[in-house]
């Protein structure tokens, strides 16, 4: 069968791409070997947020007296928490099925492999191979949990994020290797449920991509919650021969043996670029990534790639934006290349982290003269009333022209607040314009205005 566009992969890059292609009038098909919605919807972004919500509610119950409430008896049902998460994911996947039908997109179930001549073979679950062709083939195969040679995953004692979401029973203890978003979100969830958690991080700071002030505050918050944190440390080997896991950890003070029921490897992701026909077609790759131009065209005409398999931030919202831009360019619309310097990053532990733009260190390295403002949530009426005073907003401006260089937040609900900074930076808004934009009171978001005022020595409430 011939299509205008075939999309390989139905994650937040692929399915969004297919919908936008259909809206633009293209006859579109999408190929998926597992579940519509990909890793993000089925095994990543969405079900983890359901788990974290259960953890938040459980924490509220544990601290009910802080709010003047008495809850005499409560407990958790770990199996029910996992089941709720899976139910949320399944419901969202069914929603994608509805969107495919609504937009008249053909869903082809099976494993796709691109071929020369703008063709694709799809092998179904019975092994039957069907050939399809299209004017444009967009590859959006995403990524999976990265395995290190000294941390082979057996799916039982040494696990990746997929197994961490569906463990049959709650472990009493867990080692989390890696403190990126995946690692710290699971660390927070299991700690909240009552598991003894230790985080092992190779870098000097946890969440190492964040501004250093954010990392330090976050480490304090996690330690306060009872999580053990080992930075400047690496797991050299694991022994799974006993009942649990014994991990040999190299630290600045020497080697240390950690014992736990489970070890979660959260050391990053690996692009899914193997066995999908790239070599046969001649599509260029480098360092685990497909090489593309600013509009996601590969070196072979008619073939495109988006999402985790191309250079850039491996985030769901990035993949969606790339896919939309890609098909709009194919349709002949006027589009501008994506600004990878203005991509928000979010971590959904407690407290949440959200950031966009340059860190203080990066801005200094680029030679900017800076105006920096911070506003603590301890001074926020809304945060104090909500019982969530931990954290702050930090803003970074160019002293010369007032350009908003970076925004870094840690606290309750900040992942919903960061969009203000993203839009403002897109519109080239200055610090003074933020100060003069009236923010509602009492809200968490007014901390952005207050932090900006602090940068210009006009802050009122600290």
Annotated binding residue 180: yes
Annotated binding residue 184: yes
Active-site residues: which are they?
441
Tokens 């039908």, residue?
A: 101
Tokens 């080697």, residue?
A: 255
Annotated binding residue 254: no
Annotated binding residue 179: yes
Measured at the alpha carbon of residue 305, what is the angle toward residues 281 and 317, in degrees to the nearest 5?
A: 165
Annotated binding residue 49: yes
Annotated binding residue 214: no
Rounded Cα distance, 2 and 423, in Å = 40
Annotated binding residue 182: yes
Q: Burial level of 438, CB count in 10 A (0-12/13-18/19+)?
A: exposed
Annotated binding residue 234: no
Annotated binding residue 255: no
Tokens 């670029």, residue?
A: 273
Computed from CA positions of residues 34, 36, 38, 39, in that sequence, does the dihedral angle turn out positive or negative?
negative
Name the token pair of 40.
């993000």
Bridge partners for 254 per DSSP: 251
Q: Which residues are annotated as a binding site?
A: 49, 112, 178-185, 201, 268, 308
Residue positions forming the annotated binding site for FAD? 49, 112, 308
């Amino acid at each position: 069968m011939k299509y205008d566009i075939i999309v390989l992969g139905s994650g937040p890059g692929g399915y969004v791409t297919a919908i936008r292609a259909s809206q633009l009038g293209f006859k579109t098909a999408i190929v998926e070997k597992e579940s519509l919605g990909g890793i993000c919807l089925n095994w990543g972004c969405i079900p983890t947020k359901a788990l974290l919500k259960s953890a938040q509610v459980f924490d509220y119950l544990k601290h009910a007296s802080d709010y003047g409430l008495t809850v005499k008896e409560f407990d958790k049902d770990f199996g029910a928490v996992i089941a709720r998460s899976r139910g949320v994911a399944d419901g969202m996947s069914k929603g994608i099925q509805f969107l495919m039908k609504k937009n008249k997109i053909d869903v082809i179930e099976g494993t796709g492999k691109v071929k020369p001549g703008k063709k694709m073979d799809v092998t179904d679950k019975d092994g039957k191979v069907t050939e399809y062709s299209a004017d444009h083939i967009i590859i959006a195969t995403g990524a999976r949990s990265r395995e290190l040679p000294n941390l082979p995953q057996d799916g039982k004692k040494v696990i990746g994020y997929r197994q961490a979401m569906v463990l049959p029973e709650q472990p009493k203890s867990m080692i989390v290797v890696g403190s990126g978003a995946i690692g710290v979100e699971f660390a927070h969830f299991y700690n909240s449920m009552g598991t003894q958690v230790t985080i092992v991080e190779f870098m000097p700071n946890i969440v190492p991509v964040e501004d250093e002030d954010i990392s330090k505050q976050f480490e304090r918050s996690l330690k306060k919650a009872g999580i053990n944190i080992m930075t400047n440390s690496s797991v050299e080997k694991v022994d799974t021969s006993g009942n649990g896991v014994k991990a040999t950890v190299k630290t600045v003070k020497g080697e240390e043996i950690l014992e736990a029921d489970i070890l979660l490897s959260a050391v990053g992701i690996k692009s899914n670029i193997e066995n999908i026909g790239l070599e046969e077609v001649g599509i260029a790759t480098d360092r685990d990534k497909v090489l593309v131009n600013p509009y996601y065209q590969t070196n072979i005409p008619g073939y495109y790639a988006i999402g985790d398999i191309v250079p850039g931030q491996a985030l769901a919202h990035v993949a969606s934006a790339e896919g939309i831009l890609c098909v709009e360019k194919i349709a002949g619309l006027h589009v501008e290349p994506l600004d990878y310097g203005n991509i928000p990053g979010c971590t959904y532990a407690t407290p949440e982290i959200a950031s966009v733009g340059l860190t203080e260190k990066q801005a200094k390295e680029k030679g900017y003269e800076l105006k920096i403002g911070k506003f603590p949530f301890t001074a926020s009426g809304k945060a104090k009333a909500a019982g969530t005073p931990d954290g702050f907003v930090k803003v970074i401006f160019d002293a010369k022209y007032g350009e908003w260089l970076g925004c870094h937040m840690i606290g309750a609900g900040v992942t919903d607040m960061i969009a203000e900074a993203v839009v403002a930076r897109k519109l080239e808004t200055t610090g003074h314009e933020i100060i003069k934009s009236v923010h509602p009171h009492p809200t968490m978001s007014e901390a952005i205005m207050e932090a900006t005022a602090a940068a210009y020595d006009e802050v009122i409430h600290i």
